[in-house]
Structure 1
């Protein structure tokens, strides 16, 4: 069944084939498995249901973003007490900022892939 959804956007991950291409769902599931802890990536239910895997990846990323934000915002207050010099604290904050940018980019990718997976599932079910 052909999918009419057009995911071409800057948020679509380059590791995932676009809908309509052969094995695009398999490439999406492979990419999503790389985003979740390995113990989740091996659960048969999540392997068979890429929409569930995508949902879990979204939740996982939300938590990672929350953790990085907390670490970044508390760095100036907490790192001096751990003996970190100012230069290390500044580099740490820059590292967290870069990671936050990357995580937000990945989260947008997960959202568009999830939308495509859901629409493809609905198309197969005749909705």
Structure 2
């Protein structure tokens, strides 16, 4: 019997590749992290690997927006908020950037698995 293995960073809400109905859990998870409009596109609902690609690009766009917000925070916000609030905003951007990095890894792993990549346990 083959053991079902997932790499570090695999999303907890998605069953391991080749587990019963794992693609259903992948689709549900991908839809939850994508814009709500994605649910209305039949092609994305029929082809979960396409949904994964769309989700990767969506997360990458959020990462880019986060990076832009972080790079502009001090210059843009210093006129509308006190320095301590600007510092809090910068910390929020940094926290969000870290979260999005983890999500990008997760969605990338799911996309790879939907494309056929399988993982083996290493000693």
1:11-53 Cα deviation digits (max 9, x unpaired):
1000100012111000000000011111112211101100000
Q: How does 1:33-48 map to 2 (within 5 A)?
A: 33-48=31-46
Q: How does 1:75-90 map to 2 (within 5 A)?
A: 75-81=73-79, 83-90=80-87
Supply the RMSD in Å over aligned alpha carbons. 1.7
Partner of 2:115: 118
Partner Cα separation in structure 2 for residue 46 and residue 55 of structure 1: 10
Partner of 1:32: 30
Gaps of 5+ in 2: 118-123
The TM-score normalised by the length of structure 1 is: 0.86
Moved over 4 A (4+): none
SS of 1:34 mapped into structure 2: helix
Partner of 1:106: 103
Partner Cα separation in structure 1 for residue 40 and residue 111 of structure 2: 19
Q: CA deviation at 1:84?
A: 0.3
Partner of 1:60: 58
Gaps of 5+ in 1: 121-127
